[in-house]
Structures are given as C-alpha cells and as structure tokens.
Amino acid sequence: MSMDGVAWRSLYNITRAKSGSRPFSKETLKRVMGFARPHRGRLIAFVAVSIAMAFLAVATPVLAGQVVNTIVARADAGEVIRLAALIAGVAVAEAALGMVSRWLSSTIGEGVIVDLRTKVFDHVQRMPIAFFTRTRTGALVSRLNNDVIGAQSAFAGTLSGVVSNVVALILTLVVMLNTSWLVTVLAMILLPIFLIPARRMGSRLADLRREAAEHNAAMGTQMTERFSAPGATLVKLFGRPDEESREFALRAGRVRDIGVRTAMLQFTFVTALTLVSALALALVYGLGGWLAIGGQLAPGDVVVLALLLTRLYAPLTALSNARVEIMSALVSFERVFEILDLEPLIQEKPGALAVPPGPVAVEFDDVRFSYPSADKVSLASLEEVSTLDTRGGEEVLHGISFRVEPGQTVALVGSSGAGKSTVAQLLSRLYDVDSGAVRLGGTAPASGLDVRDLTFDSIRATLGMVTQDGHLFHETIASNLRLARPEATDEDMWAVLRQARLEAMIRSLPDGLETVVGERGYRLSGGERQRLTIARLLIAQPRVVILDEATAALDSTNEAAVQAALGAALEGRTAVVIAHRLSTIRAADVILVVEDGQIVERGTHTELLAADGRYAELYRTQFAEATAVAEEAVPEY
C-alpha cells in the first residue's frame, strides 16, 4: 500500500469511528463471540490467510533487494531470473490469497448480517403493540441497517486487520532492524509527525461528519413524514410550505458547507501525511545511499528499507486506530443488543395449548388492566428522547366481566376513551390483563381457557379483527387478502370481495386482484379500503370476530350493504362489535355500555331504551344529531 493510500485509509477509519472512550464490556465481547461461534471455522481460516499474506508482503521487498544486490555484483543472470520468478510467484500467491481472504471476509460479514438482522427482526415481531406505539420507525429500522452493518465490520475488517497488521509490523521491524538499525530508528523518529495530525485532524473531520449525518437524518425524517400520503395531506391542509422549504434549505445548506470544509480538511490531511512519508523516504534513500557508498550497507538493502518503509507505517497507523475501530463496532453491537435485551411483555407459555375445536365462547372475568409504562416496553434511544416518559400504570379497566356465548353477538358502546377498544385488544392478546382472566372456549362460565395459556397461532386462527383505521400494506389486493389465508385461491378472494360489495369495483380495475393499493391503501377511497379489510376478515373464516368501529369510514349506502354482508358472514360465529353509531348494533344479542372502564349497563336495545339510562341518553343524542344534520341538508327555497 502506498503512503497516499495509508493516509486515505487512516482518514476513513478515524472519521467513521464512534467515540471509544468507554471501557470494553466483557459481557458484550462474550455475546459477540456467540455470534462468531457459527462462523469459527471460516474465522480461523481467515486469520491464517491474513497471517500468510503478511509474510508474503514482507517477502517481496526482501527479494527485490536481493535482485539489486545480484545485479550490482554482476552475478549469474540465472540467479536474477530465479529471484524474478520468486517475486512473480509471491505476487500470484498474494493475489490468490487475497481472493480467498476477500471471499472469507464477505461470507463471514454477510453471515453475521443475516444472523443479526434475522434475530432482531424476529425479536421485534414479538414485541407488544405498546412498543410500536412509542417507537420511531426510522430509529428502529436504523438498528437493522446501520448498526448491524457497523457490527459486521468487526468481523469483516477489524479482526483480520489487527491480526495481519501485528504480524506485518513484527516481521517488518525485524527485517528492517536486521538490515540497518540506524536507518530504521531514524525513520521511526518521523512517526509521531505522522500520527499526531491523524489524531487531531481526524477528530475534527469526525465531528463534521457526525454533524452532517444529524442534518441528513433530520432531512430524511422530514421527507419521510411529509412525503407520505397522510403527511402530504396534512401539510397541504394545515402546514406552511414556505417554512417547511426554508427549514429544509437551511439544513441542506449546512450540509453543503460541511461538505466543502470536509473536502478541504481531507485534502490538507492527506497532503500532510503524504509529505511526511516523502520525507521519511528521502531519509532512507539519503542515509541509506550514503551508507551504501561507504560500503556499510548493500545497495539492495537500501531498496529493501525503502520498500519496507510503507509496510511499517501502514500497520502502525492502522493499529493506532484499531481501538477506535473496535470500540465503534462494539458500540454498534451494544445498540443491537439493546433491542434484543428488551423482553417482550407478551410471551407464549411453554406447553401452551390450542383453542379447542368447535364453537367458541368469550368470557371476561373481573378484568383489570393498566397500560404499561414506557420503561417496560420502550427505549429512550428508539423514541429519540433523553429520558423515557414516566407516566403510565393507571388502571383503565376496573373489574370488567361479561360472557359471550357461542354464536352470540355482543356490542360495546360508550363514550370515546371509555375502554371499549382496550377490551378488544385484551381479547386478541395484544396486551395481557393485570388481574382477572380473558377466556376462550368452554360451555359454562369459567370453563374456558385463559388466553395466556393458549398458543399464539391458535389465537390468530380463532380470532379475526377489523380495526377502525383499515390498514393495508403497499402490495397487491391479492397479497393483502392472502395475509389472512395464504392458501386462498382467486375464487375464494372473489367470493369474499362479493360479500364485501367490492367485486364490481375491483373487476373494473386493469390489473384486478394484482392492483397495488399504495401505501396504507391510499389509492383506494376510505370506504373501499375499509371494505377490503372486512373482506380480509371474511377470507380468514375465524370462529370469533372482533369489529372495532369496522364501518366507521362507510357512508350510509355502503354501511347498509356491508352490514348485510357481515350479518350473513357472521352467522353462527361469536362476535364482539364495538360501535359508535348505535344504529348499527340494535340487533345485537347483548349490548354493554362501558363508561370509565366499567360496564354500567347491559341488555338488549329495547331493554336499555326502556331503562332510560346512559344508553338511552346516547341514543337520543345521536338521533337528535342525525335529525339536525338531515334538516340542515334540506335546501331552503
């Protein structure tokens, strides 16, 4: 490697390393070794190849010096040819070992990436919903990308670099001291002049790079939020485009200024280090040549010293930055481990049971629940705050008890924030109760199985839920439907689309079932998007159905059509329906009125109206509002 290359390599390592002031963590190192264990065979081969390459790197200058000595001595030409052939052989061996080293490093590094990403991805999927409601998606994705790649460098580059550089440094020093200790010692005197600028200027460059990264991250977040369909809509409706543009331009301008300053510092840095290397080389040639003319040193030894000089400075510079590189990789590992160490609150018990076959009853038995505090489900670094919110832990459900017999429909009504959706989330085990029990199955009260004793797969197979937001993935209509039932045929999908009153609309699309719905389904209208989520529920064919404001986004015509479809599809199934519009749940077998986390009334629609309590009050209020809207819609002449 030339001294210019050494300078750029040193610059690259320093500016991209994170702070290494923290001590090494033995626990982190043990866990890192755990990830290395599956690749130990290749790691050993990688280290062996790196050592062999270090030996070959020193062999070439020595052979070159022998060639010069042979020529000066006017010895046998065959000896020169033999030495040249050896140099060629060393070059071929270096190339071959370089390819092997590259293959080993890439397979080890990519293997570690796969292991880390898969482990983190699987772990994140097991996290409770509370984790996702608090975490910034960009920060979480960064752990799967930037930090995993940073951890990979520990195996792909740093490990082999430390081993090969230590071996190369020892061999080079031995050969140089054996050739001329005087020239070697004098050349080493210039080393501090080489390293001090690397430390000081490299630190300044690292600070600039971090500032630029922060500005780029802020611009990325701004673009991600503003360029999504709901974000763009919000900016157009309530935002201030001129201020948004000025804010973005200020950050972009600062990144530009940092780029110019960084470019000039890099040029100064590399020029200074290259100048130092040239001075060291001049010293070797000058002093070595003078010793050679005086007969104290062979001419070929001058060549050996000159060629070995860069091979001395290169490993010394690399090793001086090795601790920073290692700590940078360990910081990345720690950030990944931070995610893995966050235990999911909702876990499947060993030996969990499956929901029994047949019709399923739903039972809530004196359920009390409070949403978990941030420290139990989140990390400050993922929320991008200095400290976690300490609020939480206040009870929101106070002794909820009810039972839904197989095939019955129970409706939950009440004010916003009363706890209705929380009941649905506990039933589907998105959260776990604090006390009491949620049970599935059983022909008599308290005879069902606690959802905490059931397998996740059987709960998912038994329950189907449609939420108010009607979320869809940026995939085709068929893919969104097959999320609920992967083996579904086209005929199955058309059947449920017919029930959801979407068949005609989707058949009119050029790509039919292969139409991409867009991010969050924004290429569809609100009603179409919600009906597609209902079709996804229908294709799953669950035994228990949960509808959480499932028809909230539909107009009166579509709502009536979908209600009829749902009525036919839910026949014979247990259903829990949460509705704000009371007109949609009048036919429910039982209506539960929830207020402040408690059931304050229960009965049929007729019974509750006759009782003239909270339900009757809600019903009269909605009826009066509907009448007022209808009267306002009548034009005056």
Q: In the structure, what pLDDT confidence band is assigned to residue 637 with cuts at 50, 70 and 90?
A: very low
Q: How far is CA 524 from the centre of its chain?
A: 28
Q: What is the pLDDT of residue 565?
A: 63
* Cα gap 73→59, rounded to integer Å: 21
Confidence (pLDDT) at 570: 73
Distance CA 363, CA 497 (A): 31
> HSE-up of 507 (CA within 13 Å, CB side)?
11
- The helix (run of H) or strand (run of E) holding residue 447 is none
Distance separating alpha carbons of residues 313 and 4, to the nearest angstrom:
11
Q: Is the pLDDT of residue 585 over 50?
A: yes
pLDDT confidence bin for 450, thresholds 50/70/90 = very high
Q: The tokens 């606690």 sit on which residue?
A: 450
| pLDDT tens-digit readout, 57-84 | 888 888 888 888 888 877 777 888 888 8
Q: Which residues contact 280 (CB under 8 A, 6 or more apart)?
A: 187, 190, 194, 309, 313
Nearest to 418 by CA among 581, 598, 592: 598
Tell whether the model's pLDDT for residue 458 goes beyond 50.
yes
How far is residue 73's CA from residue 419's CA, in Å, rounded to a whole number? 97
Q: Beta-carbon neighbour count of residue 169 at 10 Å?
A: 19
Cβ pair 594, 419 in contact under 8 A: yes
529: amino acid identity, one letter: R
Write out the two tokens for 96: 């071959």
Q: What pTM was computed for the model?
A: 0.69
Residues, the chain, total?
637
> Nearest Cα to 361, choosing from 460, 423, 439?
439
At 421, list the tokens. 């959706």
pLDDT at residue 25 greater than cutoff 70:
no
Neighbour order of strands in the sheet with 395-404: 395-404, 362-370, 435-440, 449-450
Tell me: pLDDT of 592 over 90: yes
Predicted local confidence at residue 636, as pLDDT = 42
- The stretch 446-464 carries a mean pLDDT of 88
Task: Measure Cα distances from 359 to 154, 269, 365, 520, 553 in Å.
Answer: 55, 75, 19, 34, 30
The pLDDT assigned to 89 comes to 92
pLDDT at 418: 86
Cα separation, 441 vs 361, in Å, equals: 5
Q: Which residue has the tokens 């160490």?
A: 341
Three-class secondary structure of residue 483 per DSSP: coil
Domains of the chain: 3-340 (1.20.1560.10), 404-631 (3.40.50.300)
| DSSP letter, residue 158 | I
Q: Which residues, including other chains, have CB under 8 Å from residue 612's CB and lie 6 or more apart?
A: none
pLDDT digits (tens, 9 = 90+) for 161-212: 677 778 778 888 888 888 888 887 777 776 666 566 656 665 676 677 667 7
What are the structure tokens assigned to 601, written together? 């009334």
* 69 CB-near residues (< 8 Å, 6+ apart): 298, 299, 300, 301
Report pLDDT digits (tens) over 518-554.
776 777 777 788 788 888 888 888 889 888 887 766 6
Question: For residue 192, what pLDDT is reported?
Answer: 66
Q: What is the mean pLDDT of the chain?
A: 79
- Flag the least confident range among 60-69, 149-158, 610-619: 149-158
Confidence of residue 314 (pLDDT cuts 50, 70, 90): low
- Compare 233 and 369 and report the one with higher pLDDT: 369
pLDDT confidence of residue 436:
93
Amino acid type, 461: A
Cα torsion 85, 89, 95, 100 to 10°: value is: 170
Q: Quick one: average pLDDT of 593-598?
A: 91
Tokens matching residue 17: 């390393």
Of the candidates 135, 129, 131, the one whose C-alpha atom is nearest the C-alpha of residue 428 is 129
- Distance between CA atoms of residues 198 and 207, nearest Å: 14
Sheet holding 590-595, edge to edge: 463-466, 544-548, 574-578, 409-413, 590-595, 598-603
C-alpha span between 337 and 50 (Å, rounded): 29
- Give, as one character, the DSSP assignment of residue 516: B
Q: For 80-96, how does the pLDDT look when each residue is reduced to its tens digit (9 = 90+)?
A: 888 889 989 999 998 99
User: Which pLDDT value is given to residue 323?
Assistant: 62
Residue 569 pLDDT greater than 70, yes or no: no
Most confident of 212-216, 271-275, 393-397: 393-397
340's tokens: 């893995």
Which structure tokens are listed for 156? 């792909």
Alpha-carbon span 459 to 355, nearest angstrom: 7
Taking the C-alpha atoms of residue 304 and residue 288, their distance in angstroms, rounded to an integer, is 10
